[in-house]
């Protein structure tokens, strides 16, 4: 069965049309779609990695919240020892209470010029006191054991017997209160 020349031309035209259609299909439709699919797959990998990282963070959320609460408690404790405000009324109240409990009397309470350092401010307060040696020692020890950081400097004591008032020692010192400088 021999094909005619006409049939051969038709088969060649069909083959050529299929070839051209295949080439156009691959070059114009398939390759761009494959590139788009590859870009979307890369984006999907990135999004999945971010989701995994967020899941890890979400799983640690409770631990992080607990840690934040612990740090808040620590900050509150530190702020009690080294407050942010000067609050001289508090210092006067504490000193008056300690003086009464220790059995001493103070006759002057004179704040002087503050000294600023990088982390804190020192508020020096000149004080004159009188009482027994034991009561003055008890008072100074109580000052050092306060929740707020207080310090006694430049202590000067002199003996002066007064049997009526049970005061055998008078003196002066500088009470230093510390404030956070931040």
**Per residue in 83-115, pLDDT tens?**
777 788 888 898 889 999 988 988 888 888 888
For 48, the token pair is 């999945």
* Residues of the chain above pLDDT 70, percent: 95
pTM metric for this prediction: 0.58
Predicted pLDDT at 167: 63
pLDDT at 72 over 80: yes
End-to-end distance of the chain based on CA atoms, in angstroms? 104
The pLDDT > 90 percentage for the chain reads 16
Does residue 165 carry a pLDDT above 70? no
Which of 59, 179, 161, 49 lies closest to 111, judged by CA? Answer: 179
Q: Are 125 and 108 in contact (CB under 8 A)?
A: no
Q: What is the CA 41 to chain-centroid distance, rounded?
A: 41
- Work out the average pLDDT over 170-175: 90
**156: β partners:** 172
Structure-token pair, residue 34: 């494959």
């Amino acid at each position: 069965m021999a094909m005619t020349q006409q049939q051969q031309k038709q088969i060649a035209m069909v083959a050529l049309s299929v070839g051209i259609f295949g080439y156009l299909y691959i070059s114009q439709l398939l390759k761009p779609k494959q590139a788009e699919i590859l870009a979307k797959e890369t984006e999907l990998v990135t999004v999945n990695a971010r989701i995994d990282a967020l899941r890890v963070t979400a799983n640690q959320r409770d631990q992080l919240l607990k840690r934040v609460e612990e740090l808040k408690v620590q900050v509150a404790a530190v702020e009690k020892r080294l407050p942010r405000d000067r609050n001289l009324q508090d210092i006067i109240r504490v000193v008056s209470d300690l003086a009464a409990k220790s059995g001493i009397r103070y006759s002057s309470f004179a704040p002087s010029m503050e000294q600023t350092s990088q982390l804190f401010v020192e508020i020096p307060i000149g004080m004159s006191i009188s009482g027994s040696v034991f009561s003055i020692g008890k008072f100074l020890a109580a000052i050092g054991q306060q929740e707020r950081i207080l310090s006694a400097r430049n202590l000067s004591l002199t003996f002066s017997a007064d049997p009526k008032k049970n005061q055998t020692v008078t003196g002066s010192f500088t009470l230093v209160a510390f404030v956070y400088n931040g």
